């Protein structure tokens, strides 16, 4: 088991004397953009047990799971990359192309029959009310990836930021003709200036409309659009996704704008919390994909085989910090709900319990003489909150939500974030030596984000200091017994 699990930026290289650094989940960062696009950096924020304040432009770093964030140091070295195009023999390519042509033709016919695209003699037109697109493409030779890219690329932008520490490059998705763009909070956190590049190489200034730091989402808006014709993306339904379904990731990996990569939905309902010194980002019910996601893809689009937006690419799990085929996107059903609240001038609301909690682990259980070694220990219950009304008490240990095990403070918050405001949940609570089932109706934190919030500390894993202290106590006790036995 990896007890250290220290996160690092995807573009850093960590090694140890025992081999490669274990994999970790980390916020996919903004890449070094040289003199014109300086390296991006994440500032920090404090963990509010999944119920973070929104709308603030304060910085917030995102560390993996429940570990300490390692600040990003902008690179001062310049790097030159050469792209080499190679030639291949005609016959094998012809045979492969023939098979691809047949398969691509079948897939494209399926798309037409499903209504995703309308094909004329020389055009592929995207269906839907969100945008009027006419894509010039040879329909006879179009593959699935080509058709989807032609439809979705005009709706994905590159975002360049300037910050006090430098700057960086990320991605975003055009939501409407007014120039509202959905992206990750960590792409624009701490930004003093924001520029947006669209697919026709036009560049515009943008301002922050609002943010939701705890879910790593933000909306920015182009301020100097003028008569520019923007292409809003067609929004899909992430609840309809299936494991194995084809998807495409679109963004600006390493600053390479308008890049696409394809893969499948590897898994659904992945959840994690990424902590920093002043905040925690809650990623609940994430879409896992093997489509390549790299630094710069953050805030970009994950689209399905109809070119519809199903997720916002956000984090990766990797030994190296670059794509390892394990990337994660925020489901669009959740993200668009947050975006709509921000655009409407509202404070994004999250399920609210009304407690402060800390993680229970072996060391804490031994020190406090607790009856369980895993769970979320309630250290405070705020008055007039759902927790107080349900009868939760200080020193209660929550070990499950709706019979799904909870092993840490983060685990409790992630379990609650997977529900909606107003949902009723059943908490399994250990009180002394007694186990209880307590029903709680979750409230909204929208009016409480500046004062009363759920807060937590700890991550379910012992720190190195706690572990050493635990070993010393354990060895001291066992050593005394052993000495008595030997005589």
| Nearest of 39, 1, 9, 69 to residue 319 by alpha carbon | 9
Model confidence band, residue 321 (pLDDT cutoffs 50, 70, 90): confident
104: its two tokens: 């691509």
Distance separating alpha carbons of residues 249 and 456, to the nearest angstrom = 34
The DSSP output letter for 248 is E
Q: Is the per-residue pLDDT at 33 higher than 80?
A: no
Sign of CA dihedral 343, 57, 196, 72: negative
Protein fold of 23-70+150-348: Thrombin, subunit H (2.40.10)
The least confident of 27-31, 121-125, 293-297, 350-354 is 121-125
Mean pLDDT of 33-62: 34
Name the active-site residue from 52, 62, 186, 350: 186
Name the active-site residue from 11, 165, 212, 216: 216
> In the chain, pLDDT over 70 holds for what percent of residues?
62
Q: Is the per-residue pLDDT at 180 higher than 70?
A: yes
Looking at residue 90, what is its pLDDT? 36
pLDDT tens by residue, 84-97: 322 333 334 333 44
Name the active-site residue from 298, 305, 314, 457: 298
Q: Is the per-residue pLDDT at 107 higher than 80?
A: no
Maximum mean pLDDT: which of 66-75, 112-121, 407-416, 446-455:
407-416
| Nearest of 145, 103, 138, 101 to residue 121 by alpha carbon | 138
Query: 40 Cβ partners below 8 Å, 6+ apart?
Result: 29, 30, 31, 32, 33, 72, 74, 161, 163, 166, 167, 168, 169, 170, 187
Backbone angles phi, psi at 99, to 5 degrees: -65, -40
Model confidence band, residue 54 (pLDDT cutoffs 50, 70, 90): very low
Looking at residue 460, what is its pLDDT? 56
Q: Is the per-residue pLDDT at 427 higher than 70?
A: yes
The DSSP output letter for 169 is E
The DSSP output letter for 487 is -
- Asked if 186 is an active-site residue, the reply is yes
Distance separating alpha carbons of residues 158 and 150, to the nearest angstrom = 17
Q: Is the per-residue pLDDT at 154 higher than 80?
A: yes
Pick the CATH number of 351-466 from 2.30.42.10, 3.40.50.1240, 2.40.30.10, 2.130.10.10: 2.30.42.10
The least confident of 190-204, 343-357, 390-404, 473-487 is 473-487
Could you tell me the pTM of the whole model?
0.66
- Asked if 216 is an active-site residue, the reply is yes
Pairing of strands 309-318, 24-27: antiparallel
Model confidence band, residue 301 (pLDDT cutoffs 50, 70, 90): very high
Looking at residue 209, what is its pLDDT? 97
Looking at residue 466, what is its pLDDT? 58
**E strand or H helix at 101, and its extent?**
helix 90-114
Distance separating alpha carbons of residues 246 and 206, to the nearest angstrom = 33
Of residues 319 and 194, more confidence is placed in: 194
Map out the domains of the chain as residue ranges: 23-70+150-348, 90-149, 351-466
384: its two tokens: 């007039």
Within 10 angstroms of residue 479's Cβ, the number of other Cβ atoms is 11
| Nearest of 217, 452, 237 to residue 348 by alpha carbon | 217
Average pLDDT, the chain: 74
Mean pLDDT of 402-422: 90
């Amino acid at each position: 088991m990896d007890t250290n699990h220290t996160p690092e930026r995807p573009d850093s290289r960590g090694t140890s004397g025992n081999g490669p650094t274990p994999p970790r989940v980390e916020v996919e960062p903004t890449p070094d953009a040289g003199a014109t696009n300086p390296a991006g950096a994440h500032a920090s924020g404090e963990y509010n047990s999944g119920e973070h304040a929104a709308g603030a432009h304060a910085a917030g770093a995102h560390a993996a799971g429940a570990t300490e964030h390692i600040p990003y140091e902008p690179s001062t070295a310049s790097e030159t990359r050469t792209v080499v195009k190679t030639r291949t023999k005609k016959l094998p390519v012809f045979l492969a192309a023939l098979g691809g042509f047949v398969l691509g033709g079948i897939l494209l016919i399926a798309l037409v029959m499903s209504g995703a695209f309308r094909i004329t003699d020389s055009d592929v037109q995207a269906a839907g009310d969100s945008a009027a697109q006419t894509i010039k493409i040879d329909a006879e030779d179009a593959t699935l990836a080509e058709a989807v890219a032609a439809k979705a690329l005009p709706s994905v932008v590159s975002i360049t930021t300037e910050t006090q520490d430098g700057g960086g490059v990320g991605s975003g998705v055009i939501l409407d003709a007014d120039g509202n763009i959905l992206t990750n909070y960590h792409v624009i956190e701490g930004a003093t200036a924001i520029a947006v590049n669209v697919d026709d190489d036009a560049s515009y200034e943008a301002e922050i409309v609002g943010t939701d730091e705890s879910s790593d989402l933000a909306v920015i808006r182009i301020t100097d659009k003028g008569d520019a014709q923007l292409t809003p993306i067609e929004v899909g339904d992430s609840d309809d996704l299936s494991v194995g379904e084809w998807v495409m990731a679109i963004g600006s990996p390493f600053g390479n704008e308008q890049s696409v990569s394809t893969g499948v939905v590897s898994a659904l309902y992945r959840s994690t919390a990424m902590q920093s010194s002043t905040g925690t980002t809650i990623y609940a019910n994430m879409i896992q994909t093997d489509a390549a996601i790299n630094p710069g893809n953050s805030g970009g689009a994950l689209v399905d085989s109809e070119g519809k937006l199903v997720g916002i690419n956000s984090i990766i799990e990797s030994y190296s910090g670059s794509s390892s085929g394990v990337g994660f996107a925020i489901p669009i059903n959740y993200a668009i709900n947050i975006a709509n609240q921000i655009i409407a001038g509202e404070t994004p609301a999250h399920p609210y319990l009304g407690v402060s909690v800390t993680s229970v682990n072996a060391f804490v259980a031994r020190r406090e003489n607790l009856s369980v070694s895993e769970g979320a220990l309630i250290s405070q219950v705020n008055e007039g909150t759902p927790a107080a009304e349900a009868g939760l008490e200080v020193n209660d240990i929550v070990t499950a939500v709706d019979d799904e095990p909870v092993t840490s403070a983060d685990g409790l918050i992630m379990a609650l974030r997977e529900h909606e405001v107003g949902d009723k949940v059943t908490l399994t609570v250990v009180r002394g030596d007694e186990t209880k089932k307590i029903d709680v109706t979750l409230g909204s934190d929208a009016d409480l984000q500046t004062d009363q919030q759920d807060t937590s500390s700890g991550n379910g894993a012992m720190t190195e200091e706690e572990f050493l202290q635990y070993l010393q106590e354990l060895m001291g006790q066992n050593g005394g017994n052993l000495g008595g036995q030997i005589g």
